[in-house]
């Protein structure tokens, strides 16, 4: 079946620290991969995506590379800000049905 | 202009009642979705519609009935509300397709007492 596994949170960092949030997936075909972010009290916003192996998605200083050999799509940022505090969701669209399958979400807390 | 809007934002009701949540998108998308987010933040697809036609019904109880009067609207009606229905419900839309971005509404927090 199709599933997404994310690291447990919360992840607590000081401002300007390096961020990695791990995401691995299981899929029967060739999924598209997404990172969504949910700020407190808001809906989900797309952060970045990658649609085929070795693609790198990037936005607002965040990056993730679609690694088919390790079935991973880890999210990284070189220097986090307090405003990055949110819940981050890794997701896949398997393609056989048009739906997003989400990981459990990882809460990021950044302190000044 | 809000891309995907939902009403109401908050809904508090008693067990056994019937309630509806409305969703509208002004992006011109063909596909709309309902997702449920539980208290642990876990998100799961409930339904999707493409151009008013039901495409996905993800083993949701019959008490939940989506209705799409046109491709810009997808409403969710819930009969005989139960405590376990308490959650945040998100509407989303996309052009449809594996690589297309789904755009989410702000969510409706439903609390069943």
Determine the pLDDT at residue A105.
94
What is residue B97's predicted lDDT score, i.e. its pLDDT? 81
The pLDDT tens digits for A10-59 are: 999 999 999 999 999 999 888 999 999 999 888 899 999 999 999 999 99
Region B56-78: mean pLDDT is 91
Please give the pLDDT value at position A28. Answer: 84
Distance CA A62, CA A77 (A): 5
Residues A71-89 have a mean pLDDT of: 97
Mean pLDDT of chain A: 94
* Residue A11 · residue A108 · CB < 8 Å: yes
CB count within 10 Å of CB A15 equals 13
Cβ-Cβ contacts under 8 Å, A51 against chain B:
98-99
The pLDDT confidence band at residue A97, using thresholds 50, 70 and 90, is confident
Distance CA A18, CA A26 (A): 27
Sequence-ordered list of residues with C-beta below 8 angstroms from that of A111, at least 6 positions apart, any chain? A12, A13, A14, A15, A82
For an interface test with A, the pick among B21, B23, B30, B43 (most A C-beta atoms closer than 10 Å) comes out as B43
Average pLDDT, chain B: 93
In this predicted structure, what is the pLDDT of residue A78? Answer: 97
pLDDT at B58 over 90: no
CB contacts, 8 Å: A45 with chain B = 104
- Given this model, what pLDDT does residue B1 score? 65
Interface test with A, best of B3, B98, B101, B106 (most A CBs within 10 A): B98
């Amino acid at each position: 079946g199709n599933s997404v596994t994310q690291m447990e949170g919360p992840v607590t960092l000081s401002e300007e620290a390096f961020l990695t949030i791990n995401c691995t997936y299981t899929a029967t075909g060739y999924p598209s991969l997404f990172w969504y972010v949910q700020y407190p009290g808001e809906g989900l916003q797309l952060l970045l995506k990658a649609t085929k192996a070795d693609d790198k998605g990037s936005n607002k200083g965040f990056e993730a590379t679609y690694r088919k050999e390790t079935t991973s799509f880890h999210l990284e940022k070189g220097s986090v800000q307090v405003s990055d505090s949110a819940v981050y969701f890794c997701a896949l669209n398997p393609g056989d049905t048009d739906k997003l399958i989400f990981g459990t979400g990882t809460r990021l807390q950044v302190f000044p | 202009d809000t891309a995907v809007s939902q009403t109401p934002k908050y809904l508090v009701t008693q067990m056994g009642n019937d309630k509806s949540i409305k969703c509208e998108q002004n992006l011109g998308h063909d596909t709309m979705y309902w997702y449920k987010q539980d208290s642990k933040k876990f998100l799961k697809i409930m339904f999707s519609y493409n151009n008013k036609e039901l495409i996905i019904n993800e083993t949701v109880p019959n008490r939940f009935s989506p209705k799409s009067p046109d491709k810009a609207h997808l409403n969710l009606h819930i009969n005989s509300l139960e405590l376990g229905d308490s959650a945040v419900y998100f509407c989303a839309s996309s052009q449809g397709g594996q690589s297309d971005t789904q755009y989410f509404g702000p969510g409706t927090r439903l609390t069943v007492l």
